[in-house]
Structure 1
Amino acid sequence: MEQKSSSFDKVLSSWDILVIAFGAMIGWGWVVSSGSWITTGGVGGAALGFVIGGIMVFFVGLTYAELTSAMPQCGGEHVFSHRAMGPIGSFICTWAIVLGYASVACFEACALPTIVTFLFPDFLQGYLYTVEGFDVYASWLAVAVIVAIFMTYINIRGVKAAAKLQTLLTVIIAGAGILLMVASAINGDASNLESQMFVGDDGFSMLKTTLAVAVMTPFFFIGFDVIPQAAEEINVDLKKIGQILILSVVLSVVFYALVIIAVGLALSGPEILASEKSAAGLVTADAMAKVMNSAMMAKVIIIGGMCGIVTSWNSFLMGGSRALYSMAESYMVPKTFSKLHPSYKTPINALYLIGALTILAPFAGRKMLVWVVDAGNFGCCVAYCMVAISFIILRSKEPDLARPYRVSHYKIVGALAVLMSGFMVVMYILPGSDAALVPQEWAMVGGWCFLGLIFGFLCKQKYGERFGLLVDIISDEDAAALQSTDEEISVALDGAIDAAINKILTQRKLNMA
């Protein structure tokens, strides 16, 4: 293990890390998918499903909270899994999470110009080609590429600049969501809920449809784990970091559940079905238009969803670059990815790589990117499971490790976290499940694994014993203490050398006399 002081600037406040995590979890799904959630489980069933899914993610979040406070280093999962499982386990875990972050960032680059078409129907101009049934237009590509360049530039300018953008957009998202909730509570019709609280004829079928929603929900909560990636840049008490991470999960659960209830109050069952089958299929936006009695207000929700896309994109670009940086620091991928910008202290080459992928991704069309993001979500769930296992291992392996945020009943929490995250992984693998990967997605997972093997083999050959070296970041206080000790040793050595020289010179003078 190698020790050094952090190369990053500690600039993120409590608010910054809260909006980074919350913004990552609240993307476009609450605008585009609310109708399918309700038709699957009913208003009550869908809201309850999100609570159940949130509880599943909550236990995984608890393991992250403790480990982040104990090891506040850039890379998060990389450090946790390395301390618990060694370099091979760490490589698998971190490479999986990089796939997750990069894939979501690429998907958002396609999702953003797609939303612009909802706001401006005549936006699509200059037909170029078709990929898997998706028509690619010059105007659509131009918006995607320009925004991708801007997002990469913002992240290169520093994590604080990215956090400021995140704050602005998260406030807009929250404002749009709260406006919908308040308007639905005032102008909505409670009788709409009577016929669509749950889907099913009996208790068992209602439970089944509720769980069908719950199975989908963890994939909408991916993003809280961005906090550990930027741990070295957080200027907050270590115990508080864990608390904020958990708070971000709770706020996301509440937000999703209240949006579902608001849509249920605004629209009846037939209206939700009609909205889903419309050209836009934006049920949440139609709910806002009805309760505000204005078609223009639907665009407020669409703008909120657009901001959600950018906040997710911003967070995952940040997380992916830090994960790649941490792998490069451990000589697991080419060392060039550990280079920091001389002024902004950001992993510039890692950002260039992921930024380049987001610029190129739109050229593949939206359908292919859906496959990529599903493969990436699978990678995230694999990493979650490995972190949960690392949590249990480290409680046994390093019981005296300082844990500012310490989870009570760790065996129960750890077991539930492993079971919950493992369940998500199984749902991606199990044929016939709603989340099962299709052959194209398995091909992408396989390709990513193959690329990882190539990187691992080449770096092992090039760096030898340094491959998998864990760099331990020491605190500023410890670094100052070490520097002080070094200075004291240096002064003592200088004094000893001077005394020895004087003694030799004195002896020579005596001999000459």
Structure 2
Amino acid sequence: MQGAGGGAEVGLKKVLGKWDALAIGVGAMIGFGWVVLTGDWIVSAGPIGASLAMLVGGGIMAVVGLTYAELVSAIPKAGGEHNYLLRAMGARWSFAGSWAIVGGYITIVAFEAVALPKSVQYIFPNLSQIKLWDIAGSEVYLTWALVGVVGAVAITAINIRGIKTAGIVQTFVVIFLFIIGAMLLTGAFAGGDPKNMEPFFVNGTAGFFGVMIVVPFMFVGFDVIPQSAEECDIPPKKIGKYVVVSVMIATAWYVMVVLATSSGLGQRALAGSDLATADAMGALFTSEVMAKILIAGGIAGILTSWNSLLMGASRLMYAMAQSGMLPRWFAYLHPVYRTPSHALLFIGALSLLAPFFGTAMLGWLVDSGSPSIVIAYLLVGVAFLILRRREPGMERPLRIGGRGNFGQVIGVLSVLFCAGLISLYLPGMPAAIGWQPWLLFGGWWLLGTFFLLRVPRGVSPGEDAEEQLLAMISIRQQARLGAIGVDAAGARSKSIKSAAGKRR
């Protein structure tokens, strides 16, 4: 990629160590949702019902994570899903899966831009000044929105300066987040009341599945590790292991938060709380100061998730642009920091807008991003199975399930679990999502369809799929410029497909 000064082509820097990679994955999953949504989970399903939903959801994500673990160890390139699907299923399927996960990442980045001023207002109640408008019953104030804007500028700037800088920031903030979690757990043991946790189950299966539908949104982030694999200075086998370990840590975190929060506040108090986990912390220690300290932990969660997912989305867009699926503009690397600065600026600009839509956007973003995330996970499971069958000899430093067929069983389970999660979002299901999230979902995929139709047909899956794709795009561009005739372009395209077929 050319830098601003037109220098020699350079790649991404290999600067991430093992703790950086783990902090990126864990920090991406533990955002702000545990502060703002935990009360809703407990009210919907009860503390044990919500904990079981998180355990089951974490188990599903762990199975999905195992497929990622093998694939990232075998194909440690920036872009994760993009590379797996391109090799297994071809260009258009690769675009679909990549577009899906980018959409999921961007909804979470936007979510954090709205969550930041909401959490800061808990500490500074008079934050909202200069009313702008109302959206879906949510009042939007200029000073409130500007907090989200400042956060977006800061996180984007940190990422442009380099992934190592972002990784260092991530590690320290994750450590702080875990200190807050330890304080919450200590408060639950010291001041919690088991009677507050009754009833343990609420609303039966409807409550359970109502919590389950947010699982993809809450656990998205372990797949950021594969997005950054090309920048990890650790063996590919270990990169794969960190994917699974990060899911296990996040599962334990969410279960702990649900149980600790329910021990501090009863059902009635939870139903009337905007930030239940913070209120529970205050109740457990009988101190408003402790509630605000927990909000500081929530802000740390916002920053870690925001940082990781901005990192992941920009790497995916960079990889897609490198393959010709998106405009070349997104593949630009900063001449000094060698980060995909244009992709970072694009996503950062989108997050600047989110706070101006108010808190109503929080629920819409959660629900609109989740189906896209699960679609991507499902496609990765399919790619895992295809590569197991078609390329049994492919080097796999971390082979899931050993040398037998158990790995294929894991792949099938991953696909089935993801298909089941997708069904939960559909109209008529107990946990169906509303029309506003479907509108956001449809808008994203409508834009994606425009780019999808520009991806050439006939790119054969395989190790050289990206080279085929770039060659076809080059021929198309030459034909449009008149450098070669249409007939010659068609002949060249056929020869590329024929050569690819012979290699297979």
TM-score (norm 1): 0.83
* 1:407 paired residue among 400, 404, 407: 400
Query: Does residue 418 of structure 1 match 2:415?
Result: yes
Unaligned segments of structure 2, at least 5 residues: 1-8, 469-504
Match of 2:74 in 1: 70
* 1:438 paired residue among 434, 437, 440: 434
Match of 1:282 in 2: 275
* Secondary structure of 2:31's aligned partner: coil
Match of 1:500 in 2: none
In 1, the alpha carbon distance for the partners of 2:228 and 2:60 equals 24
Contact 1:56 1:218 in 2 (8 A): no
Question: How many residues get paired?
Answer: 451
Match of 1:397 in 2: 390
In 2, the alpha carbon distance for the partners of 1:319 and 1:245 equals 14
Match of 1:21 in 2: 25
Match of 2:358 in 1: 365
Query: Does residue 119 of structure 1 match 2:123?
Result: yes
In 1, the alpha carbon distance for the partners of 2:87 and 2:159 equals 29
Q: How does 1:3-82 map to 2 (within 5 A)?
A: 7-82=11-86
* 2:369 paired residue among 362, 376, 379: 376
Match of 1:309 in 2: 302
Deviation of the 1:449 alpha carbon: 2.2
After superposition, give the CA deviation of every residue in 1:366-399 in whole Å (9 maximum; x if it has no partner): 3246434422222111100000110011100111
Contact 2:87 2:465 in 1 (8 A): no
Contact 1:123 1:139 in 2 (8 A): yes
Contact 1:54 1:218 in 2 (8 A): no
Deviation of the 1:471 alpha carbon: 5.7
Max Rg structure: 1
In 1, the alpha carbon distance for the partners of 2:427 and 2:87 equals 31
In 1, the alpha carbon distance for the partners of 2:262 and 2:366 equals 29
Deviation of the 1:294 alpha carbon: 1.1
Change (3 A) 1:382 1:310: same
Unaligned segments of structure 1, at least 5 residues: 473-513
What amino acid is the match of 1:240? K
Deviation of the 1:295 alpha carbon: 1.5
* 1:447 paired residue among 443, 446, 451: 443
Match of 1:356 in 2: 349
Change (3 A) 1:219 1:142: closer
After superposition, give the CA deviation of every residue in 1:144-169 in whole Å (9 maximum; x if it has no partner): 11211111110000111111121122
* 2:199 paired residue among 196, 201, 214: 196
What amino acid is the match of 1:325? Y
Query: Does residue 147 of structure 1 match 2:142?
Result: no
Deviation of the 1:354 alpha carbon: 0.7
In 1, the alpha carbon distance for the partners of 2:439 and 2:211 equals 27
Change (3 A) 1:223 1:189: same
Deviation of the 1:317 alpha carbon: 0.6
Q: How does 1:204-223 map to 2 (within 5 A)?
A: 205=204, 209-210=207-208, 212-223=210-221
Q: How does 1:91-170 map to 2 (within 5 A)?
A: 91-170=95-174
Deviation of the 1:431 alpha carbon: 3.0
In 1, the alpha carbon distance for the partners of 2:27 and 2:173 equals 8
Contact 2:62 2:247 in 1 (8 A): yes
After superposition, give the CA deviation of every residue in 1:298-349 in whole Å (9 maximum; x if it has no partner): 1111111111112111111111111111111110111111111111110111
In 1, the alpha carbon distance for the partners of 2:248 and 2:263 equals 23
Change (3 A) 1:52 1:241: same
TM-score (norm 2): 0.85
In 2, the alpha carbon distance for the partners of 1:6 and 1:100 equals 29
What amino acid is the match of 2:438? W
In 1, the alpha carbon distance for the partners of 2:193 and 2:292 equals 22
Change (3 A) 1:395 1:469: closer
Q: How does 1:490-501 map to 2 (within 5 A)?
A: none
What amino acid is the match of 1:413? I
After superposition, give the CA deviation of every residue in 1:114-156 in whole Å (9 maximum; x if it has no partner): 1111111111111122222222212112211121111111000
* Secondary structure of 1:429's aligned partner: coil
Q: How does 1:171-186 map to 2 (within 5 A)?
A: 171-186=175-190
Contact 1:330 1:469 in 2 (8 A): no
* Secondary structure of 2:180's aligned partner: helix
In 1, the alpha carbon distance for the partners of 2:234 and 2:150 equals 34
In 2, the alpha carbon distance for the partners of 1:381 and 1:156 equals 29
In 1, the alpha carbon distance for the partners of 2:294 and 2:330 equals 38
Change (3 A) 1:64 1:394: same
Deviation of the 1:96 alpha carbon: 1.0
* Secondary structure of 1:68's aligned partner: helix
After superposition, the CA RMSD in angstroms is 2.2
In 1, the alpha carbon distance for the partners of 2:364 and 2:201 equals 31
What amino acid is the match of 1:198? F
* 1:233 paired residue among 222, 231, 235: 231
Contact 2:101 2:373 in 1 (8 A): yes
Query: Does residue 273 of structure 1 match 2:268?
Result: yes
In 2, the alpha carbon distance for the partners of 1:264 and 1:454 equals 47
Contact 1:221 1:252 in 2 (8 A): yes
- Percentage identity across aligned positions? 43
What amino acid is the match of 1:383? A
Deviation of the 1:191 alpha carbon: 4.3
In 2, the alpha carbon distance for the partners of 1:27 and 1:452 equals 27
Change (3 A) 1:49 1:454: closer
In 2, the alpha carbon distance for the partners of 1:225 and 1:128 equals 37
Match of 1:480 in 2: none
Contact 2:217 2:369 in 1 (8 A): no
Moved more, 127-136 or 51-60: 127-136
Change (3 A) 1:6 1:196: farther
Deviation of the 1:183 alpha carbon: 1.8
Deviation of the 1:44 alpha carbon: 2.4
* Secondary structure of 2:425's aligned partner: helix
Change (3 A) 1:300 1:369: closer
* Secondary structure of 1:74's aligned partner: coil
